[in-house]
Amino acid sequence: MKTFLFSLMFLTISSFPMEKEKDIYGKWKLEINIKEILKKESKEPNLLEQMIVGGVIGMVESVWEKTDITFEFKRNNEVLMYVKVEDDETQVEELTWNMYDGKIYIDDINDPNVNIDNDGYWRLKDGKLLFYSDDGEFEGEVFMIRK
C-alpha cells in the first residue's frame, strides 16, 4: 500500500511542468508582432488615425525587420542582450535574471545608452519563452524562440 501511495504521489508531482534554470540557458531571439501591437493600441480609429497608424506600422516594421535582439541566458543569473541593427556593430548589454515559480524575470537596466524596463515576466511553454504582463495577462505578440 505504501508503495502504491508513493508511486501515485510521484506521478502526480512529476505531471506538473517544472521548468528549471538549465532549461533556459542559451540564446533566445526576441520576436515582436509590431503590426498586432499597434492595431491593438489603436482600437476603432477614425480615418485620419487609420492613415497615421498605417504609415507608422510600415515604418516600424521596416526598422524591426533590420533589427535582431538576442538574449543569452547564462549561469549565475547573468543574461547578455545582443542588439544588432542591419550592418551596425552589435551592442551588448549585461543584465541579470531570476526564476521564481517558473516565472523568469529580467531585471531593468538604466544605462546612458539604453533604458530597458521589464514590466512583466517570461514563461517557458512549448519551446518558447512567452511574455506576461505583471498582472498575469498573456501578451501573445511578444515572445522568444531558441536560436
Closest residue by Cα to residue 130 from 121, 48, 55, 42: 121
CB 92 within 8 A of CB 80: yes
- Residue 135, pLDDT above cutoff 50: yes
The pLDDT of residue 44: 66
The pLDDT of residue 49: 67
Q: What is the overall mean pLDDT for the chain?
A: 79
Q: Which pairs from 64-69 meet CB under 8 Å and 24+ separation?
A: 64/32, 64/34, 68/29, 69/29, 69/30
Q: Where are the alpha helices (DSSP H) in 15-134?
A: 21-24, 34-41, 47-65
- Residue 125, pLDDT above cutoff 50: yes
CB 116 within 8 A of CB 105: no
Q: Residues 61-91, buried b or exposed e (16+ Cβ, 10 A)?
A: eeebeeeebbbebeeeeebebbbeeeeeeee
Q: What is the pLDDT of residues 79-114, one digit of tens each?
A: 999 999 988 999 999 999 999 999 999 987 666 665
The pLDDT of residue 61: 77
Q: What is the pLDDT of residues 26-75, one digit of tens each?
A: 999 999 987 777 667 666 667 766 667 667 777 777 778 889 999 999 99
The pLDDT of residue 36: 77
Q: What is the pTM of this model?
A: 0.75
